[in-house]
Amino acid sequence: MILITDGGSTKCDWIAINHSGEQAAEKIRTKGLNPAIIEEKKLRKIITKKKALQKIANEVTHVFFYGAGCGTDKPRLLLKMILEEKFPNAVVEVREDTYAAVRACINTNDEAAVVCILGTGSNCSYYDGKQLHQRIQSLGYALMDDASGNHFGKRLIRDYYFHKMPESIRVAFEHKHNLEADHIKFNLYKQPNPSAYLASFAEFMFLNKESQYIQEVIKDGIRIFSENMILQFKEEIETVPVHFAGSIAFFAKDEITEVAKEYGYTVGNFERRPIEGLVSYHVNNLKA
């Protein structure tokens, strides 16, 4: 049995397939397993607590884990060690989530493209058809992650507190979320996974997209992401498409397409849930 995982900071989707490429169990969802921000004890607990994973643990022969926070060796190797313990008969491969986005978005295995992730966090890489290239190392939600869920959550909260929201949006935002200062600070500074907490506010944008204010918030974020991340591959985007993966990208298709025209790059595919594209990728490679 082969276990394929799309691991974000907020949640992880796990799909088991057999060696014929057929789904072998119901899709499993756990909390996020970002090893860069979640301590070892908590990572173990999240996996152990899920009975559906424990039920198939000894049957798994390969684990392909694609996750947020797995772009540097220390957290990646920590998670690999934990997965090897939890799935004792499996060969474990842990890659950063960008590889999931690449494999889910590209049309053929050797297609060159710039691939972006806009989910709880954000990232951008160039895939030359064989290897992945990144020119900027991500420093996470506090300093980077432009146009991500946590970026937009932070923007909305700041605009609320700095009185930059239109009154109608302000009232709706108050109705949707607990915006008491003590509650926000508790979740940001005393609870685990503050990036996921910030990202939880982003849904509000897409429920209120008819607002000109909201549309400008979204486009401002995409512009910042384009300038800081996509334009690092200025030469490459002259000849290759720019694909997008993640829920934020999926729901901001129109705004991304509009901003892309401003910056002169060609938008390619949108993949809301990379796990679906990953299954196709691994099934095709099993049969190859």
Query: 117-170 pLDDT, tens per residue?
Result: 999 889 999 999 999 998 988 888 899 999 999 999 999 999 999 999 999 999
106 vs 160, residue with greater confidence: 160
State the pLDDT confidence band at 287, using cuts at 50, 70 and 90. low
Lateral strand order in the sheet of 11-17: 28-31, 11-17, 2-7, 62-67, 91-96
- The most confident of the ranges 190-194, 223-227, 271-275 is 223-227
Q: How far apart are CA 181 and CA 89, in angstroms?
A: 48
Expressed in angstroms, the distance from the first to the final Cα of the chain is: 17
Give residue for tokens 């594209």.
277
Confidence label for 7 from pLDDT (cuts 50, 70 and 90): confident
Average pLDDT over residues 30-36: 93
Contact 256, 219 (CB under 8 A): no
- Domain coordinates of the chain in residue numbers? 2-101+274-287
Which of 7-11, 105-109, 139-143, 227-231 has the least mean pLDDT? 7-11
Q: Is 228 left (phi over 0), alpha (psi -120 to 50) or beta?
A: alpha
CA torsion, points 80, 281, 136, 118, in degrees to nearest 10?
-100
Query: Considering the domain 2-101+274-287, what is its CATH architecture?
Result: 2-Layer Sandwich (3.30)
Q: What is the mean pLDDT of residues 249-275?
A: 95
Check if the beta carbon of residue 179 is closer than 8 Å to that of residue 169: no
Q: For residue 288, what pLDDT band results from cuts at 50, 70 and 90?
A: low
pTM over 0.75: yes
Mean pLDDT of the chain: 93
Which of 72 and 201 is assigned the larger pLDDT? 201
Which pLDDT score is estimated for 25? 82
pLDDT tens per residue across span 169-217: 999 999 999 999 999 999 999 998 899 899 999 999 999 999 999 999 9
Residue 206, CB half-sphere, CA atoms under 13 Å: how many? 16
